Structure 1
Amino acid sequence: MTEQGDPVANMLSVLDLSASGARTTEDIFTGASHHMPTGRVFGGQVLAQAVIAAERTIPDDRVPHSMHGYFLRPGDASEGITFSVDRIHDGRSFATRRTQAFQDGVPIFSMIASFEREDDGLDHQEPMPGGIPGPDDVDDAEAHLEHPLSRRLLAARPVELRHVPSPVYERVEGPHTPRQAVWMRTRRAIPDAPELHRAVLAYMSDMTIQESVLRAHGVSWSLPGLKVASLDHAMWWHRPARVDEWLLYVQESPSARAGRGLATGRIYTREGVLVATVAQEIMIRVPDAE
């Protein structure tokens, strides 16, 4: 049961999967979805749940380093989700799992993830871009949205966001460039379990990544008739981090064409440590372009 007044508790509840039945050829888990105003399952939620399901079949000395997933069908947020995990490979250093998410016996999401027993090796990273104001210097634009319903919906999210230069909820301010940065963290502290922070980072990685495509063309989320859907999602975990502390999500879109847009992102700690890299392609339908 989720706590209606605590969006973080709501998120943690849906990420707490249940094992279902004995293992035969696959490991089966079940989970719920949290409410979404569109009625569709939030993609970041099913990403995080799929990672958790796969990691529960992995030895404790291995951690996820990459995942590649496809969103096959829209999920119904009012229905539960079943996750089947296929143990594809268990080697001395790496393990591979395929996770499928089902509703009513039909797959809605498919993911392959790789896990590694971490060893010493070469170490470098792309530096965090300079000139980006810190989260304390960025206005909380959500509090100033014109529409009360929009304010309530955004306040119900478990993640706090601060956009640089500004959000694209109601309008696109400033130059129409294919890049932006977003500070993000959960609205309160969560338990210390590293596997939970990795999963929530996957959850957060699906938030705002699409907006570099929108911003490039001056398109806001409130544009009547706008249709956006995630097609696929890839993520590479580089280094550990806490998701209840500020993280900077630096995003850009290298291409948009034929009703699709590609976005990439790098996630840094406040101290400049590169935590993860993300790529996602979306379907985008803009009324004026049809």
Structure 2
Amino acid sequence: MARVTDAKASQAPYEQGPVEFVELLRIEELDENLFRGHCHAGAPMRAFGGQVAAQALTAAGRTVPRERLVHSLHGYFLRPGDPTRPILYQVDRIRDGASYATRRVTAVQRGEAIFTMSASFKKPERASERQRTMPPVPGPEELSDPFEAWERSAPEEYAKATIFRSMEMRFIPADAPGMPPELPGVPQQFVWLRTGTPLPADDPLLQVCALTYLSDLTLASTTALHLQPHRVQRSGPNRVILASLDHAMWFHRPFRADEWLLFAQRSPSASDGRGLAMGEFYDRDGLLVASAVQETLVRERPYHGAGDQG
């Protein structure tokens, strides 16, 4: 039985090079309801929000009986996390009912909350089912690896970003067969995602925490596709400032995060320096396994001409 709570989290091993994806979720139990982890940078000197959320959910799940599975989470990013310092996760056991259990997690650095999350767990039950049909888009085997293109175009930058070798992504072109038509004012992007290394099959919580991490990789950029249509660009000055404000997920059916999942994302609104993105995860059999919604800070950098580096 795999657990991602142990003393190995006292250091951040992925800072030294590529690692098993499970290491990104590993936290150390310090005391009852108190855990410690490390997170890598998502932006310069800012901890990656998806990893903070995934570790917070890991902490919450370790205080709930294994037969209760997480079905939803709601998180707020309050301050930028420092990737050079550990993060403490404080768990409050809000409620343990007959079917449902609720936990609240506060991630703390330097005595200040950087992230808060509420997560709900429940016992599985039989019920009628329905879902939106998965679009008949090309499979991941038919698509190119964006990391290979990035490595060719910016080898030194790619060599430093070893964390990307712990996951796999395939972007589906907008004109690919089977792609739903894009509605006016609603930019969309479809991406296949999975962890880059296998995950233990006997830990459903680990699968959900891994998907929580993966869900934060592309949602923010979906809100700004109308401002930066070349979504896989990794070089040159960034004209858009993006930062996650909040993040919510609902888990509908069992899945494996180390197998390809289609992330169908759309952004129905952008205003007031904020953008909203919604996404659905489908497995290879077309089952809708999870949904995600995120609000993102979206700000355009001033443009001062071709030589501008701002």
- TM > 0.5: yes
Taking the TM superposition and a 5 Å limit, the aligned residue runs for 1:234-245 are 234-245=248-259
Paired residues for 1:1-290 under 5 Å: 1=11, 2=13, 4-7=16-19, 9=20, 11-21=21-31, 23=32, 27-34=33-40, 38-130=44-136, 132-145=137-150, 146-152=153-159, 156-157=163-164, 158-165=166-173, 178-192=187-201, 193-219=203-229, 222-288=236-302
TM-fit CA distance, 1:176: 9.3
Distance 1:287 1:34, change over 3 A: closer
Structure 1 Cα separation of the partners of residues 301 and 18 of structure 2: 36
Instruction: Tell me the number of residue pairs that the alignment of Structure 1 and Structure 2 aligns.
Output: 276
Alpha-carbon distance in structure 1 between the residues aligned to 2:262 and 2:30: 37
SS at the partner of 1:47?
Answer: helix
Instruction: Report the CA distance between 1:229 and its aligned residue.
Output: 0.6
| Worse overlay, 224-233 or 198-207 | 224-233
Q: Residue type of the partner of 2:169?
A: L
Tell me how far apart the structure 1 counterparts of residues 124 and 173 of structure 2 sit (CA, whole Å): 37
Residue of structure 2 equivalent to 1:169: none
Change (3 A) 1:153 1:269: farther
Are the aligned partners of 1:66 and 1:113 in contact in 2 as well (CA < 8 Å)? Answer: yes
Distance in 2 between the 1:150 and 1:53 partners? 33
Q: In structure 2, what is the equivalent of residue 172 of structure 1?
A: none
Residues 227 and 240 in structure 2, CA contact (< 8 A), matched pair in contact too: no
CA contact (8 A) 1:71 1:109 kept: yes
Q: Which moved more, 1:145-154 or 1:78-87?
A: 145-154
User: Gapped runs of 5+ residues in structure 2?
Assistant: 1-10, 175-183, 305-310
| 8 Å Cα contact 1:143-1:151 kept in structure 2 | no
Structure 2 CA distance, aligned partners of 1:281 and 1:54?
A: 23
| Cα distance in 2 between the residues matched to 1:223 and 1:134 | 32
RMSD over aligned CA atoms reads 2.3
Distance in 2, Cα, partners of 1:289 & 1:278: 32
Bigger shift: 214-223 or 140-149? 214-223
- Counterpart Cα distance in 1 of 2:198 and 2:23: 15
Check conservation: 1:72, 1:108, Cα contact below 8 A.
yes
Percent sequence identity is 42
Q: Does structure 2 conserve the Cα–Cα contact (< 8 Å) formed by 1:176 and 1:218?
A: no
Larger mean Cα displacement after TM superposition, 115-124 or 213-222: 213-222
- What secondary structure, in the 3-state scheme, does the structure 2 residue paired with 1:215 have? coil
SS in structure 2 at match of 1:144: helix
C-alpha distance after superposition, 1:49-103 (max 9, x if no partner): 1111111111121010000000000000010000111111110010111000000
Following superposition, the deviation at residue 271 of structure 1 comes to 1.4
Measured after TM superposition, the shift of residue 188 of structure 1 is 2.0
Native 8 Å contact 1:69 1:111 kept in 2: yes
8 Å contact kept, 2:248–2:294: yes
